[in-house]
Structure 1
Amino acid sequence: MESAFKIWETSRNLYLDFLSKYTLEQLNKVPEGFSNNLIWNIGHIIVAQQALVYKSSGLPGYVPDALFELYKPGTRPTAATSQEEVAELKELLISLVAQTKADYYAGKFVTYKERMTGTGFYVASLTDAIQFNNYHEALHLGVMMNIRKFV
């Protein structure tokens, strides 16, 4: 599992680079031909991880419900994200990696409710969820690499 966590940490640091390299205006811009923006992708991977790992394990997670509603699967940006919300997402982006690792090694994950993802992957265990989360985050990183060309 340690290798999966290392991959996840690297991925999250790549996302963190977007927050330092782009202005608030650039983070919020939805380029023509796209349905979301840079900051929505960051918020989305944060809440998706919490749903995949925590909610499916019967645990509450660490993301406020308001953020979950803004970035859950099936949503799109409806308003500009504020600098305060960007700061909150930046904090969650990194802190949730350490928190999830701590919870994992503390044995907090006892059960897992099997599920089919929206992309057709069958996730049967916590290990599957963590592995799928890395895949999911890589997909969104690719989307962001395309969006950045137009902001």
Structure 2
Amino acid sequence: MAMEFAIEIARHTRLNFIKLMEGLSIEQLNVIPQGYNNNIAWNFAHIVAAQQTLCYVRGKVPTRLAIEEVTKYQKGTRPEDFITEEELDFYKDKAITLLDDLKIDIEADIFDNYEPVTTAFGATLSNINNAVAYFCTHDNLHFGYALALRRAVLNIEQAAVHNFSAN
């Protein structure tokens, strides 16, 4: 029961993340403001990739995404290229459907060979239950980053408009 609730929390976080991106252009979603090392689009794709790493790679079972789609946004990466609307739409779709897949895979008990890992938070994940609880926290951390990035992106534009009108 707790597992299902955690997955529902992740679903709500991801839907809120998608809502946060609405109204921003693909260019705005790719902006890396001064003082930051990534952008909103990268943060979103990263949470999808991290779920695959934390659950499937550590669970020693095949990922539900092509491994290149996971490694491109794994921990330690940063935006290397412009993230297109099509690519972002792909990750938006996968953000939700992969939660459904995970629930099915947990019920099928495929994660019986989990490789423990200690996270950057200092928490040791030793099974799929720990991984699900952790990626929910991780998703929310990156949602918070995206909120800050959104404010920074909009402030850059307001400053540009303000500077333009002052000339």
Q: What TM-score do the two structures reach when normalised by structure 2?
A: 0.85
* Partner AA of 1:63 in structure 2: L
Q: Is the 8 A contact 1:31 1:147 kept in 2?
A: yes
Of 115, 118, 121 in structure 2, the residue corresponding to residue 119 of structure 1 is: 121
Matched, 1:88 2:90: yes
Measured after TM superposition, the shift of residue 127 of structure 1 is 0.7
For 1:33, the equivalent position in structure 2 comes to 35
Q: Which aligned pairs between 1:11-90 and structure 2 lie closer than 5 A? A: 11-90=13-92
> What are the ranges of 5 or more consecutive residues in structure 1 without an aligned counterpart?
none
User: CA-atom RMSD, angstroms?
Assistant: 1.2
Q: Is the 8 A contact 2:4 2:103 kept in 1?
A: no
Summarize deviations over 1:73-116 as a string: whole Å, max 9, x none: 00111111112211111111111111111111222222211111
1:34 counterpart SS class: coil
* Partner AA of 1:34 in structure 2: Y
CA distance in 2, matches of 1:4, 1:81: 29
Moved over 6 A (4+): none
1:112 counterpart SS class: coil
CA distance in 2, matches of 1:10, 1:70: 24
Instruction: Point out the structure with max Rg over C-alpha.
Output: 2
CA distance in 2, matches of 1:44, 1:127: 20
Measured after TM superposition, the shift of residue 124 of structure 1 is 1.3
Measured after TM superposition, the shift of residue 146 of structure 1 is 0.4
Q: Is the 8 A contact 1:45 1:137 kept in 2?
A: yes
> What are the ranges of 5 or more consecutive residues in structure 2 without an aligned counterpart?
154-167
For 2:165, the equivalent position in structure 1 comes to none
- % of aligned pairs identical? 31
* Partner AA of 2:99 in structure 1: V
CA distance in 2, matches of 1:34, 1:58: 33
* Partner AA of 1:21 in structure 2: G
Q: What TM-score do the two structures reach when normalised by structure 1?
A: 0.94
CA distance in 2, matches of 1:2, 1:106: 14
Summarize deviations over 1:29-60 as a string: whole Å, max 9, x none: 11111100000001111111100011111111
